[in-house]
Amino acid sequence: MAKKKGIDREKLALVIIDIQDKLFHNIHDGESMKDNVIKLIEFSKIMGIPIILSEQYPKGLGQTIEEIRAALPSYDPLDKSSFSCCGEEDFEKRLLKLGARTIAITGIECHVCVFQTARDMLARGYVVHIISDGVSSRARENWKVGIDRMRELGATISSTEMFMFEVMEKAGTQEFKEVVPLLK
């Protein structure tokens, strides 16, 4: 049996969907989700993984929450009105510019914007990793249905730590030493 290759870091991007002021405070297990997204941002900075941030109708729903904005290496949100990030021309342009073919997705709401983005990216031939503890919805049941549907469509479901270890592939590197404090 052939060994499956790990995640190609050279073609990887982290997408953070709509973790905004007026949405976040009603999200199931939001604090834990937020902490995991911040870990993934810090991890991405160490590993050189580009980040794309979206905001759904920011005029009405506000900006990305302060804790996430503060962790980002730069704040350049993709404003969107489509539930799927793929409904915005600028999103695809950003992915093409980065050369990204594997996408790790975090954000809210799992059963709406996260799901529709994952669905559309899978249909376009991207490899999609959903970080299960980095996505949420207002109701836990909607989170579960979103995760189940994305798995059925072919998305890989991972946790924050599982994804981080899969990207790193081995211990003993300088990157690993920098990542270890994030895992505590």
CATH code of residue 110: 3.40.50.850
Average pLDDT over residues 81-105: 95
Angle of the 30-47 helix axis to the 160-168 helix axis, nearest 10: 10
Question: Is residue 3 predicted with pLDDT exceeding 60?
Answer: no
Reported residue count of the chain is 184
Instruction: Supply the angle between the helices 140-153 and 115-123 in degrees, to the nearest 10.
Output: 0
Is 125 among the domain residues? yes
Where residue 5 falls among pLDDT bands split at 50, 70, 90?
A: low
Q: What pLDDT is attached to residue 4?
A: 55
Residue 2 in domain: no
CA 61/CA 58 separation, integer angstroms: 5
Q: What distance in Å separates the CA atoms of residue 170 and residue 66, rounded to the nearest whole number? A: 33
Average pLDDT over residues 106-125: 97
Whether 162 has a pLDDT exceeding 70, the answer reads: yes
Q: What percent of the chain has pLDDT over 90?
A: 93
What is the separation, in whole angstroms, between the first and last Cα of the chain? 35
1 domain-assigned: no
Closest by CA to 110, choosing from 101, 102, 119, is 119
Domain membership flag for residue 101: yes
4 in any annotated domain:
no
29 in any annotated domain: yes
Residue 84 has pLDDT above 70, yes or no: yes
Give the predicted TM-score (pTM) of the model.
0.95
Q: Is residue 32 part of a domain?
A: yes
DSSP conformation letters of 90-101? HHHHHHHHHT--
Q: Is residue 139 part of a domain?
A: yes
Name the residue range of residue 57's domain. Answer: 9-183
Which pLDDT score, from 0 to 100, does residue 9 have?
86
- The model's pLDDT over 127-137, given as tens digits with 9 standing for 90+, comes to 999 999 999 99
> Is a pLDDT exceeding 80 seen at residue 102?
yes
Domain count across the chain = 1
Give the chain's mean pLDDT.
94
* Mean pLDDT within 170-174: 91
